[in-house]
Structure 1
Amino acid sequence: MQTTGHTEETDKRSWKEFLLNLFRLTAKPTVKVYHGYGHDNCLTVFGHVFKLSPYPRKKYRQHFLRNTLALLRLFLIKPFAGADVQLEWKGKQHNAKTDADGFFKFEWNDEEPFECGWFPVNVIASVNKKQIASSTGRVYIPHTTQYVFISDIDDTFLISHSSNLRKRLWVLFTENARSRRPFEGVVRHYQLLAQSNTTEDAPNPFFYVSSSEWNLYEYILEFTAVNELPRGIFLLSQLKQFSQLLKTGQNNHGTKFTRIVRILQAFPHQRVILLGDSSQQDPYIYESIVQHYPKQVHAVYIRDVFQRNYEKVREVLNRIEASGVACLLFKHSDEAILHSVKIGLIAPSDAEKKLSAAQNEIPKMAQSF
């Protein structure tokens, strides 16, 4: 005969399994490996280990409730602190340990030959020398190109309404990574920049640096892939728990400066182009970057999405421009394409190919610069 205690324990376990299945969560340890990158002979790979995490989304039906639940699931996580993680690269093992947030980071030097491109890396998580989970990620080793592009995400290429809390949350909760839309023309601009002064098989590296949290990594990765934005490296902000959901994308601007500085230090010989928007702190962060690294920053692009900030942002960009860095405050990406033609980032012939026949005013408009 079953005891009362045993029955209660079984009931609790059944309810837990029911709730996990309802929200498509797993209580099994998991490893998430984000896109890493290499430069010179140094490689960097980072990720998280979780005790509780959502399964990847497979169906993208445009349904209010499905989209809301899918968004909520991304914040129903429990990090695995203190786990040992191992990465193998060219027969050598590298070791790290997760911090209180479940985050891990590998940095190591490679040996020649140092090939360029995307390469798989396998990461294993262990506790007391017993493997609990593993996952494969990818590390990108860019070709030696003239430029590095660093772009914000929300309201820079992804329409997010960051300056309006109600609209921002409505879009976040009711849309999904495949139904969200980029600004008109931004994909053309980014694709052209990826090929700027290089060849198709050796694109310029793109880094997407955002105040959005790592919770949204798969969401943003899916959006960029579906919309054919240049494949790149994501440097996002610290994980948020479910109780912090309404603050997503907020109050992480200080660390954004640090993340951008790391990229500039990793690629000291490339010219850097910064792309952001006027809704929050991008102009001020970029001004500080230019002050610290004036010889590396080649151009600054700010999308004008918040009219109330126009005059302040214009003043910031005037100061940046006075230091010798090309700047543009723009509403439509066609303006940015034309500016990129003007300063030599994009060849006029390449721009003409990307613009539609209805918009093909490059030869006439370029003369006005």
Structure 2
Amino acid sequence: MGSALRRLHWDLRLQPFHGYGSPTTVRVLAKVLYASPGAPADFHDQPVHDMRTMAVRGWRNFASQVAPYRTVHIRIGEQQFSVRADRTGIVDVQLDVDLEPGRHEALLWTVPGNEVSADITVFAPDATVGLVSDIDDTVMVTWLPRPLLAFWNAFVVHQSSRQVVPGMPMLYQRLARQFPEMPVLYLSTGAWNVFPVLKRFLYKNGYPDGPLLLTDWGPTNTGFFRSGREHKERALRQLAETFPEHRWLLVGDDGQHDPSTYADFAAERPELVEAIVIRQLTESEQLLAHGTLRPLERRNHGDLTPLVVTAPDGHTLLSALQHAEVIR
């Protein structure tokens, strides 16, 4: 496929994602794709003028041909690295660096002329509390059955189809004021292909900026869709290894496996969990999430279970966290 596209004068392009890390190690994320002649070097720089444009972009994001195993060059500050994409074209690497806390840019390219920049947020080492948040049904609702959600995210990306969960932006802003150095990461089973759409939704609705940890689209050895639970478990363990001094607020919903996934992580590393915050779905949302009116069962680990706060929206979650003195 790659040689045929090159004969048609398609070029390699990089889709950068928002990376993160500590002053000594950062995680750089990107995807290597083939693009038609004349396509912009940075997919994120394409202007969005109306909803029809966004729908076309959503289709192209999933129809693009990935370029596996390509060498990608990365420059961060004065340091330069060469890495290889995996078989799905994804670059996901940990690099040893020497950076100050704050926002940085990494320059990525495969060949001279297709350079793109990727945001890198270096979290302050003295931050005591971080926030890990699910996306679907936690900060936004699409009102679709979960089996259709991946298809909808792939091919229908109208902003009007996504509704903000009441009170959640206010809750996250309040947490950001309470903990000024708080790292914020959004951990979702959504595909990397919809990264620009999700970023725009979060920005438009006033959520704190932060890296998105998504998954990849396409078949695996066990099925067509990747395991969302395994993806979240791996991401939490990686955060624990990179930031052993941080305690995390783990925010999700009770429509799928967030309560048990977070409880399992708290049982493994109780010293790293500040609280588990669960948004309770309505009966209609539960039905769309997994086909029944009741939440999926939660796993309890007895004395190892940290503070667990549940409520139907951000306003009541804020009150509950204030009552528990997590937020002053």
Q: 1:344 Cα deviation (Å)?
A: 2.4
SS at match of 2:206: coil
Give the CA deviation at 1:209: 0.8
Q: Which amino acid aligns with 1:176?
A: H
Q: Once the two structures are superposed, what CA deviation does each residue of 1:60-99 show, in whole Å capped at 9, x if it has no partner?
A: 5346xx6544432221111112221111223221110112
Give the alignment of 1:326-341 within 5 angstroms: 326-341=307-322
Aligned: 1:121 with 2:106: yes
Q: Distance in 2 between matches of 1:174 and 1:92?
A: 40
Name structure 2 gaps, 5 residues minimum: none
Match in the other structure for 1:221:
199
Q: What's 1:33 paired with?
A: 16
Q: If you compute each CA radius of gyration, which structure gives the higher value, 1 or 2?
A: 1
Q: Secondary structure at the match of 2:164?
A: coil
- Contact 1:67–1:173 under 8 Å retained in 2: no
Residue 158 of structure 2: aligned partner: 176
State the 1:168 CA deviation.
7.7
Structure 2-normalised TM-score? 0.82
1:156 aligns with 2:138: yes
8 Å Cα contact 1:116/1:140 also seen in 2? yes
Q: Which has the higher contact order (CA 8 A, sep 6+)?
A: 2
Seq. identity, % = 19
State the SS of the aligned residue for 1:236.
strand
Work out the CA distance in 2 between the residues paired with 1:118 and 1:164. Answer: 35
Encode CA deviations 1:136-173: one digit per residue, 9 max, x unaligned. 11110122211011111101101133645458866875
Q: In the alignment, is the contact (CA less than 8 A) between 1:178 and 1:226 conserved in 2?
A: no
Counterpart of 1:267, as a letter, is F
Alignment CA distance shift 1:177-1:266 (3 Å): farther
CA displacement, residues 83-128 of structure 1 (integer Å, 9 cap, x when unaligned) = 21111223221110112111123322223xx4111111101113xx
Q: Could you tell me which residue of structure 2 aligns to residue 5 of structure 1?
A: none
Residues 85-100 of structure 1 aligned to structure 2 (within 5 Å): 85-100=72-87
Distance 2:320 2:327 in 1: 9
SS of the equivalent of 1:80 reads: coil
**2:257–2:296 CA contact under 8 A, matched in 1:** no
Distance in 2 between the 1:209 and 1:279 partners? 15
Q: Which residue of 1 aligns with 2:26?
A: 43
Q: Higher mean Cα deviation, 33-42 or 294-303?
A: 33-42
Change (3 A) 1:277 1:60: farther
Contact 1:52–1:76 (8 Å) recurs in 2: no
Structure 2: distance between partners of 1:175 and 1:105 = 25
Residue 123 to residue 192, structure 1, CA distance change in 2 (3 Å):
same
2:256 pairs with 1:280: yes
Q: Distance in 1 between matches of 2:148 and 2:92?
A: 35
2:293 and 2:233 map into 1 onto residues whose CA distance is 20
Alpha-carbon distance change, 263 to 240 in structure 1, aligned in 2, over 3 angstroms: same
C-alpha root-mean-square deviation of aligned residues, in Å? 2.9
Deviation at 1:175, TM superposition (A): 5.1
Secondary structure at the residue paired with 2:119? strand
Partner of 1:76: 63
- Tell whether the 8 Å contact from 2:277 to 2:317 is kept in structure 1 after alignment: yes
Cα distance between partner residues in 2 of 1:155 and 1:30: 32
- Distance of 1:178 and 1:30 partners within structure 2: 29
Q: TM-score, normalised by structure 1?
A: 0.74
Count of aligned pairs between the two proteins: 304
Mapped partners of 1:122, 1:180: distance in 2? 32
Residues 301, 329 of structure 1: 8 Å contact kept? yes
Stretch moving more, 159-168 or 265-274: 159-168
For 1:212, the aligned partner's letter is G
Post-superposition shift, 1:27?
3.7
Indicate the residue corresponding to 1:342 in structure 2: 323
